[in-house]
């Protein structure tokens, strides 16, 4: 074999070794970026420190959120409460959200960051909240154009009534984080996808065991104009809330809602209807010893004004005193929700039961 052939073989071997080394380095770099494993905990994030788990609820796996010193939280759209030290008070909720952390190569103007996040409120059907840290280590729940930021956290909802977070939805959130990292020459960290999907499935199972809605129907003999229906409802205390009318507690929390059976908007000038629904969304309503009984009282008052029949889901008139029995059962559910860290009408419950 000639010296030329030996030289060519040696060069070929060297080239192969260089390619293998480069591939190993790339793989190692990607793994460090994408597969950061978070520590577990013996405490169930859906349960309080010393509260028992409700029967039938499945505890989600714990996934801790990496917190930098001074790192805050909140939404990019809503105005958040501000603490005495100038930090926004809202934070990611590890019981129902998972976080992707993006740290920039240098301070980024708030206006530029807002522009990069335009339209990013959801990943599929899961809400995404944006939290940020300023270059002065202040927590932010709302991006401010005049400030500069050194990092953001994308808090992705793990489950809601559309089901658990899916691989596609997680990929959408991850891709958006990658875009931010590349645009602002940063680095990113987040949990392993399989761990996220497992946590989402467990949270969804726990919520499904506690998800209850109770309804009543107002049936009229003939369609009545919406202006007349709305007037009667408002005289009893209902107020407008989007396409529905809601009955509020003294703390301005939604207790139950009034809807058209055809799902059309409850607006003046929207024709007429002969059927309405009263709906008590238990996890999203504040705990009340007479939650159902109060809806029945209001429903009977509205039925009287509209000349309607108040019936249950099966179209049968309510049995006198049945509301007391239902309220007793609802108290058990309110207690289970509270034990699971999903206090009825609370912020966490409103997120996962949306």
Percent of the chain with pLDDT over 90: 68
Q: How large is the average pLDDT for residues 71-85?
A: 42
pTM: 0.73
Q: How large is the average pLDDT for residues 255-264?
A: 92
Q: Residue 310 belongs to a domain with what CATH number?
A: 3.30.1400.10
pLDDT for 76 equals: 37
Last residue of a domain, one of 209, 231, 263: 209
Query: What's the rounded Cα separation, in Å, for the pair 151 and 135?
Result: 9
Residues 63 and 143 in one domain: yes
pLDDT for 38 equals: 33
Q: Which residue has the higher pLDDT, 46 or 216?
A: 216
Residues 185 and 249 in one domain: no
Q: How large is the average pLDDT for residues 239-266?
A: 92
Query: What's the rounded Cα separation, in Å, for the pair 349 and 54?
Result: 15
Give residue 284's pLDDT band: very low, low, confident or very high (50, 70, 90): very high
* pLDDT greater than 90 at residue 199: yes
Q: How large is the average pLDDT for residues 113-129?
A: 96
Q: Which residue has the higher pLDDT, 305 or 320?
A: 305
Last residue of a domain, one of 184, 209, 234: 209
* pLDDT greater than 60 at residue 99: yes
pLDDT for 19 equals: 57
- What's the mean per-residue pLDDT of the chain? 83
Nearest to 282 by CA among 292, 274, 268, 271: 292
Looking at the domain assignment, is residue 110 inside a domain?
yes
Tokens found for residue 185: 């020459």
Nearest to 286 by CA among 330, 238, 232: 330
pLDDT for 21 equals: 61
Residues 181 and 49 in one domain: yes
Last residue of a domain, one of 209, 232, 261: 209
pLDDT tens per residue across span 150-177: 999 999 999 999 999 999 999 999 999 9
Residues 220 and 149 in one domain: no
Tell me how many domains the chain contains.
Answer: 2
Tokens 């309405």 locate to: 276
Residues 190 and 224 in one domain: no
pLDDT for 86 equals: 75
Residues 202 and 222 in one domain: no
Angle between helices 291-306 and 322-339 (to 10 degrees): 130
Looking at the domain assignment, is residue 130 inside a domain?
yes
Residues 191 and 235 in one domain: no
Give residue 84's pLDDT band: very low, low, confident or very high (50, 70, 90): very low
Q: How large is the average pLDDT for residues 304-330?
A: 91
- For CA atoms 14, 17, 18, 19, the dihedral sign is positive
Give residue 243's pLDDT band: very low, low, confident or very high (50, 70, 90): confident
Residues 224 and 177 in one domain: no
Q: Residue 72 belongs to a domain with what CATH number?
A: 3.30.1400
Query: What's the rounded Cα separation, in Å, for the pair 238 and 29?
Result: 58
Residues 79 and 163 in one domain: yes
Query: What's the rounded Cα separation, in Å, for the pair 206 and 333?
Result: 13
Residues 152 and 239 in one domain: no
* Of the candidate ranges 30-44, 143-157, 227-241, the one whose mean pLDDT is the lowest: 30-44
Neighbours of 295 (CB within 10 A): 25
Query: What's the rounded Cα separation, in Å, for the pair 280 and 271?
Result: 25
Q: How large is the average pLDDT for residues 313-342?
A: 92
Query: What's the rounded Cα separation, in Å, for the pair 308 and 260?
Result: 14
Range of 222's domain? 213-352
Give residue 18's pLDDT band: very low, low, confident or very high (50, 70, 90): low
Helix H, strand E, coil C: the string for the chain is: CCHHHHHHHHHHHHHHHHHHHHHHHHHHHHHHHHCCCCCCCCCCCCCCCCCCCCCCCCCCCCCCCCCCCCCCCCCCCCCCCECCCCCECCCCCCCCEEEEEEEEEEEEEHHHHHHHCCCCCEECCEEEEEEEEECCCCEECCCCCCCEEEEEEEEEECEECCEECCHHHHHHHHHHHHHHHHHCCCEEECCCHHHHHHHHHHHHHHHHCCCCEEEEEEEEEEEEEHHHHHHHHHHCCCEEECCEEEEECCCCCEEEEEEECCCCCCCCCCCEEEEEEEEEEHHHCCCCCCHHHHHHHHHHHHHHHHCCEEECCCCCECCCCHHHHHHHHHHHHHHHHHHCCCCCCCHHHHHHCC
């Amino acid at each position: 074999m000639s010296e030329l052939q030996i030289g060519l073989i040696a060069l070929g071997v060297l080239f192969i070794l260089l390619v293998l080394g480069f591939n190993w380095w790339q793989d190692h770099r990607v793994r460090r970026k994408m597969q950061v494993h978070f520590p577990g905990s013996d405490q169930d994030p859906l349960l309080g420190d010393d509260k028992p788990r409700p029967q039938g609820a499945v505890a989600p796996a714990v996934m801790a959120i990496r917190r930098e010193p001074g790192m805050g939280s909140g939404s990019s759209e809503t105005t958040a409460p501000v603490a005495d030290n100038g930090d926004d008070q809202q934070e990611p909720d590890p019981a129902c959200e998972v976080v992707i952390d993006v740290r920039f190569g240098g301070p980024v103007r708030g206006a530029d960051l807002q522009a990069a996040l335009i339209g990013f409120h959801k990943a599929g059907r899961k809400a995404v909240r944006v939290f940020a840290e300023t270059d002065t280590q202040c927590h932010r729940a709302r991006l401010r154009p005049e400030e500069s930021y050194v990092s953001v956290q994308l808090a992705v909802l793990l489950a809601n009534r559309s089901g658990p977070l899916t691989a596609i939805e997680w990929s959408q959130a991850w891709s958006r984080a990658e875009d931010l990292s590349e645009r602002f020459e940063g680095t990113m960290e987040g949990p392993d996808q399989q761990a996220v999907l497992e946590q989402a499935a467990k949270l969804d199972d726990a919520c499904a065991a506690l998800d209850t809605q109770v309804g009543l129907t107002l049936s009229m003999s003939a369609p009545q104009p919406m202006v007349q229906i709305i007037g009667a409802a408002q005289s009893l205390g209902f107020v407008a809330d989007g396409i529905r009318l809601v009955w509020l507690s003294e703390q301005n929390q939604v207790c139950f809602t009034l809807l058209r059976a055809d799902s059309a908007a409850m607006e003046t000038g929207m024709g007429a209807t002969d059927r309405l629904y009263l709906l008590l969304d238990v996890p999203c309503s504040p705990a009340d010893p007479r939650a159902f009984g109060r809806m029945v009282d209001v429903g009977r008052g509205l039925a009287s004004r509209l000349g309607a029949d108040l019936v249950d889901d099966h179209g049968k008139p309510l049995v006198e005193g049945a509301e007391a029995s239902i309220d007793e059962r609802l108290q058990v559910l309110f207690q289970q929700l509270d034990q699971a860290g999903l206090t009825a009408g609370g912020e966490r419950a409103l997120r996962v039961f949306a």
